[in-house]
Amino acid sequence: MIKPHVKMEESSLLLRLLLTSLLCCTTKQAYLTVRPSRSQFFSWESVSLSCQVDHSFAGWMFRRNTSDEQETTCGASWGKVDGSSCHISYIDPLDSGVYWCESTEGATSNTVNITVTGGAVILQSPVLPVTEGEDVTLHCKTRPTPSDLTAGFYKNGSLIGTEPAGHMTIHHVSKSDEGLYKCHTSTHGMSRPSWIAVSGNPTNTAPPPASSSASAHLVARLVFHLVVFFPYGVSTVLMVSLYRNRPTATAPPHRAEGRPAEDCDDLVAVGIVHHF
Which residue from 265, 231, 273 is spatially nearest to 249, judged by alpha carbons? 273
pLDDT at residue number 212: 40
SS3 call for 2: coil
Residues in the chain predicted with pLDDT less than 70, given as ranges, are 1-28, 201-276
pLDDT at residue number 6: 37
Q: Is residue 146 within 8 Å of 187, Cβ to Cβ?
A: yes
pLDDT at residue number 142: 95
pLDDT at residue number 218: 44
For the chain, domains (ranges, CATH) are 4-24+213-274 (no CATH), 29-208 (2.60.40.10)
Task: Tell me the three-class secondary structure of 187-250, residue by residue.
Answer: CCEECCCEEECEECCCCCCCCCCCCHHHHHHHHHHHHHHHHHHHHHHHHHHHHHHHHHCCCCCC
pLDDT at residue number 202: 53
pLDDT at residue number 274: 39
pLDDT at residue number 55: 75
pLDDT at residue number 242: 55
Largest CA distance in the chain: 120
